[in-house]
Structure 1
Amino acid sequence: MTNSMVDWGLAVSLGSRVAGEGPTVSRAEADAVVAELRADADRSTGLVRDFTGLEAGERTAPVLVVDRRGWVQANADGFATVLAPVVEKLTEKKGRPTGAALAVGSRVTGAEVGLLLGFLAGKVLGQFDPFFAPAGRLLLVAPNIVHVERELDCDPTDFRLWVCLHEETHRVQFTAVPWMRDHLFSEIEALSDTMDASGLLEGGLQRIAEAARGDGNLAEALSTPEQREILDRITGVMSLLEGHADVVMDGVGPRVIPSVASIRRKFDQRRKGIGTLDRLLRRLIGLDAKMAQYRDGAIFVRAVVDKVGMTEFNAVWQEPAHLPTKAEITDPDAWVTRVL
């Protein structure tokens, strides 16, 4: 992108090299995996609707079965969209760099983004991208799904449907709750209003070192109290979305996935990270916090549904004011008292 503060071409190129190709499969196997994942995504729409009561039209967002490079490209595009208001605010405050400064800075940032995407591209099984116009898109990363089902020795048919149930739940969340996309965008814009280049750099190395030692992650290390307040709101939303999807996939699972209990047990163990380096990288980029969102969000959803039922729980989707705060995620009764 001309005059971009991030070299997105470099980010995609480097990220793809870091990610690698994934497991070796024949052309026939690859075609079969793609066909099965597409069919599972379509099948999941009705299963999610029946379990949650959320109405979302079928095929309102495209389903893309991608390789790792395709996931890197899609997320580079998404980052460019999400970061646009942040870059605009920084440009207003500090002015846009030009010439050599822009070239060097954009390549450094592109390399950083590329390394991050490359690491994640080997981990992510699926993702709903709500920022892809007009209604988002569902990404299923075929080589990673095959890799994990082999690694965990799961039944491939069961595992693929299980993954699709989780990701399709996210598609339903954003298409049945159309204000959710704009709400997240507004939070990102609010965060961009707080951004200051000098503030990001001042003391940054010290806070990053603290994060590496285990005292938080990079998102926390580079945030002011005002930014943390916004991040807490975003954390509440993301915990709800991820926990809700986990509850749906496990709630629907026993009826259509015979080995769901075994899959969940093995998958939860894998989420803890494999080796020391993997755990360190997860902590630094906030994946530990992401795993906590799945866990805490699922506990919240189950607690509320057990108390008031799914129909009453669905009040959470009526308006932004009904979304749980980060504190309420760990105190479901407080949310019930406030909203219901």
Structure 2
Amino acid sequence: MMALSLLLLPLALAGCGADEDDGDAAADGKLLILEWSGYEATEYPQFYAPFTEKYADNLDEVVEYSFFADDAEALAKMESDIGADLVHPCNSWWQLYVDNGLVQPIDTSRLSNWSKIQPDFAAMGQFNGQQYFVPWEWGYESMLVRTDLVEEVPDAWADLWDPQYAGHVAIWDSAETNYVMAALALGFDPWNTTADQEAQIQQKLIDIKPNLLTYWSDYTEAYDLPASGDAWIVAGAWQDAYAYLQSDGYEVAYVQPEEGRLGWVCGFGLSAKSADLDLAYEFLDAAIADESMAALANEYWYGPANTASLPLIDEYVVDFMDLDEADTLTERTVLYRPLTEEQRIARTTLWDTVKASQ
């Protein structure tokens, strides 16, 4: 669910194809971080300012990276025991790390910036009465609309099925996202569905096919499809696609559906086998420092987990993301929740069935 800046996606895709580590970084005394490409301390030192300033002369000797393309790959790498000290997954996957013993509890007393973390986000990282994840950033998924190409701008997820958009809707090729989207359109709680409701969700996703232009998977498509005019609506789009289209002069809207935008939170987990706890905690504390969080928000239009960073964030980012209302995010946004392995498999199977249907 995490997005990277569209301008950096080619770098991200290249980075996901090969790792910088040899699997023995932790044993060699380096901090090995399992990460999305586009967040490296060596390339974006401003995201971890106190840490990178301290180790500026030998940062390459202190931090090393292994990259993943999505959360499924991140979990698989952790399960293969690559020797990572820190991992950066998104919240709907966190419970799987805890259940499989891949991460250890976080000692928040070792983080001087912990008190600045939004309490609702901190609570998401708690399992079995202990803090297992340090939330770092959050963002939206919604409908991106070319307002000059539609007669009516949709204001609900259910509107994606409106025949007036036939052949001009692009939805993300994501089992998790589309399950939630269809459940909301049907008025169901996406996290507590019955077998009958699951069957209705499957049929609902089949029923949208006459409206579909395509399933998009490469994030550049979230920009290119509406820019070309082929897609009038892109569902599951992140906020930075809207920002870039708007800045390039396109007439676009980023919808606040009546059911709520979808939302994700990502953060860092500390490996159960971390070889250098002191260095890991130093890195984590730097990542959630005010100046670090502001730099991340200004670069990628993300919401920071540290709300004390708001005075350092560009005003237009604060306004668009409603960062000054972060305490109400859980009330106005449908945030992804942890799924069990059984739920994840079931939703993937359902989505595969939908795509294969005629």
Considering the TM-score relative to the shorter chain, is it more than 0.5? no
User: What TM-score does the superposition give when structure 1 sets the normalisation length?
Assistant: 0.28
Which structure features the higher share of strand residues? 2
TM-score scaled to structure 2, two decimals?
Answer: 0.27
